[in-house]
Structure 1
Amino acid sequence: MSRSIDPGHFFQTDASETTRALKAAKSGNKNGNPIVLQSKILNAIQDPFSACIYIAESAGCVRKVNLETRDTKIVYRGPAAPVTSVAIGGHGGATVFAGCWDKEIWSWDRESRVIGRRYKGHSDFIKAIICAKIGGKDCLISGGADSKIIVWDTATGDRLHTLRDRTDTMMALQDLAVDPQDSSDAEITLVSSSSDPHIRRWRINLSSASQILDTVEVSLSQSRTVRDTIREHETSVYKVVFSGDDEDIDLWTASADGTAKCLSREKNWSTQETYTHGDYVRAVVVTSDWVVTAGRDENVKVWDKSTGNLWHIYEGHYEEITALVLLGQGNRVASFSIDGTIRTWGLERADLNKARSEREDKLKGVVKEQQVQPKKSLLTEEEEAELAELMDSDDG
């Protein structure tokens, strides 16, 4: 006897039925010129050597996608569990790394796609990985759901350092970023976010690694105190990104509290700007003119960086957006979703103005349609009452 997997064949609440119907109706749209894949996209990064993108898929692979030719055939396979994160590094950037639900980091030769070393040390799934050069050595840095940050020597697979919050209260890692303004050839400053509201900073060189404890002034008493972490959000911080001019690089964040924020270096990482996206914010990218946010509400929102005002909303995805990547010189942005699609959107002012005007016209059309009055019934009130009584009758 065959069994149906169609959710429409099972009991569902009115709300879930409505949601399913809306997603089904929305899934066929061509907004953003979608590239359609067969599994959920959990993360994405820019290829440092080309205009391609590397994506982490729930099907347990890393895929290289050429957005210009729309070629998706180059795939790095091996894991039997979802791949959550991807990075390019090693000597000369010759290695593709992937963090996986199986608690390991996989690697492949970037050109041949032959499986290389597997890095084992986390006790729960890997959430974030990045590559960095420390003291002339190619290193891999991973963060897991086990609350650990591990620094690896990519050439030998040795663990150089294992980091945890000094109070041992750090939650599952969500993202990692190297502070380019506060790092040198010999030592890097790493920023981590996790499923608690705290952002932590770490100083790492080849011989030592430790959490950075800031000394800050308390405005009322002008006394000085040690601050273990940066806390500017109410709950989980999903993304940390450094962006800005060479001498003025600030920290941008995306959080489950529904906001993206610019944390000012000059103000000791306090909030400079807040962008209230609404619902969980999974990703944020920044250009000289725009701040772009995306997340669980399926929309890509473009904010005017100079005013902080919402400028336009790109609609197209029908499931949560997990990543954003700037393309070219920042004149386009690609969005990636668990709906299995990659979509691209213009960030040139002319493109945005056109898209904004079209969206406004569409919304006006919907309002106008809703304002059309229904045709007046040809029946009298008494006749309508009789008809209703007849329809409710058990006779017939």
Structure 2
Amino acid sequence: MASGESLQVLRGHEGWVTACAWSPDGSRLASASWDGTLRLWDVANGESLLVLRGHEGEVEACTWSPDGSCLASASWEGTLRLWDVASGESLLVLLVLRGHQGWVTACAWSPDGSRLASASRDGTLRVWDVASGESLQVLRGHEGGVTACAWSPDGSRLASASGDRTLRLWDVASGESLQVLSGHEGGVTACAWSPDGSRLASASGEGTLQLWDAATGAPLGLQIRFFNTGAWASLDLEHNRIIEVHGDAWRWLGWRFRDQETGQWEVWPAEIFGELPSKQVLS
């Protein structure tokens, strides 16, 4: 990544490529596509090693087991599959995981590899026992489709993102919804834990990234991106300060208020309240 040079162009799919995931040892890459297949690639030479067929709809997500022996995939037909990546065949015990009533948008292995979490447009998450294929938990609470899920590093909690503009933190053992994280103004499209499990990052369709305290649910930071100009700003919400501003984002930052007559939100530019610093990066 020192130069940003394109090292390989991997061709073979006949539809949009929706997801990709590195094997734990870094030697192979898995890809999922709307052509209904997954592919395994040799990263060293760009060769397509296996084409995994079996889904009856578009494949939306894929993820490796922690030991690299299995691949999980999620599809629009509402099922998940576990693949023996050594042979390219579906595992006989877990041929197909059924239960969701809408397309499956995401899947994630638990850190110990014993369970699989899945998210669906039906508004639920499920936790599966990968040895038996049993659905251990059905997590309900979101008021829109669930777009993403992620295990905490210790495997005790799940984070989920939804089109209802919230994230939720779940206790995996009990299935209880521990916290609802609200603040995004658009559907939440992705979520990820920090390596130590203390923070959660989320991305939203309104063009922002947000950081959260995973213990309290408090927002820690926010990146605002202005699509019409390409400008962006990073805010430290914990200490109430602007960290960095790029482009002409200054002219979009300011006091936000609702007009009592029209009910519309208005923004008073920050420069109304004083001269702005010339530096783009603030300490």
Using the size of structure 1 for normalisation, the TM-score is 0.55
1:179 corresponds to 2:110: yes
Return the alpha-carbon distance in structure 1 between the equivalents of residues 19 and 5 of structure 2.
Answer: 21
2:144 to 235, 258, 280: 235
2:22 to 88, 91, 97: 88
Task: Tell me the alpha carbon deviations over residues 123-170 of structure 1, each in whole angstroms, 9 at most, x when there is no partner.
Answer: 111011111167xx811111111112111111211111322435xx53
- Look up the match of 1:200: 126
Return the alpha-carbon distance in structure 2 between the equivalents of residues 122 and 96 of structure 1.
Answer: 19
- Look up the match of 1:309: 218
Q: Which one scores higher on RCO, CA 8 angstroms, separation ≥ 6?
A: 1
Tell me how far 1:370 sits from its aligned partner: 9.3
Once the two structures are superposed, the pairs formed by residues 44-123 of structure 1 within 5 Å of their partners are 66=1, 68-89=2-23, 92-123=25-56
Counterpart residue type for residue 86 of structure 1: C
- Look up the match of 2:244: 355
Task: Tell me the alpha carbon deviations over residues 154-198 of structure 1, each in whole angstroms, 9 at most, x when there is no partner.
Answer: 1211111322435xx5311111111225x4xxxx21111111111
8 Å CA contact retained: 1:259, 1:278: no
Tell me how far 1:93 sits from its aligned partner: 4.0
* 1:150 alignment partner, SS class: strand
* Structure 1 pair 359–106 and aligned structure 2 pair: CA distance change class (3 A): same
8 Å CA contact retained: 2:250, 2:270: no
Return the alpha-carbon distance in structure 2 between the equivalents of residues 170 and 126 of structure 1.
Answer: 16
Counterpart residue type for residue 129 of structure 1: C
1:210 corresponds to 2:137: no
Return the alpha-carbon distance in structure 1 between the equivalents of residues 3 and 234 of structure 2.
Answer: 16
* Structure 1, unpaired ranges of 5+: 1-65, 215-228, 320-340, 373-396
Tell me how far 1:344 sits from its aligned partner: 12
Once the two structures are superposed, the pairs formed by residues 1-396 of structure 1 within 5 Å of their partners are 66=1, 68-89=2-23, 92-132=25-65, 138-160=69-91, 161-166=94-99, 170-180=101-111, 183=113, 188-205=114-131, 208-212=132-136, 229-244=138-153, 246=154, 249-265=156-172, 268-276=174-182, 277-287=184-194, 288-305=197-214, 307-316=216-225, 318=227, 354-355=243-244, 363-364=253-254, 367=268
Q: Name the structure with the higher helix share.
A: 1
The two structures, once aligned, show a CA RMSD in angstroms of 3.6
Tell me how far 1:113 sits from its aligned partner: 0.5
8 Å CA contact retained: 1:145, 1:171: yes
* 1:315 alignment partner, SS class: strand
Residues matched between the structures, number: 253
8 Å CA contact retained: 2:117, 2:127: yes
Counterpart residue type for residue 367 of structure 1: W
8 Å CA contact retained: 1:148, 1:162: no
* Structure 1 pair 163–310 and aligned structure 2 pair: CA distance change class (3 A): same
Larger Rg: 1
Return the alpha-carbon distance in structure 1 between the equivalents of residues 270 and 124 of structure 2.
Answer: 47
Return the alpha-carbon distance in structure 1 between the equivalents of residues 71 and 101 of structure 2.
Answer: 20
8 Å CA contact retained: 1:127, 1:144: yes
Return the alpha-carbon distance in structure 2 between the equivalents of residues 162 and 255 of structure 1.
Answer: 28
* 2:189 alignment partner, SS class: strand
8 Å CA contact retained: 1:163, 1:210: no
* Structure 2, unpaired ranges of 5+: 256-266, 274-283
Using the size of structure 2 for normalisation, the TM-score is 0.75
Return the alpha-carbon distance in structure 2 between the equivalents of residues 291 and 69 of structure 1.
Answer: 30
- Look up the match of 2:279: none
Return the alpha-carbon distance in structure 2 between the equivalents of residues 346 and 72 of structure 1.
Answer: 33
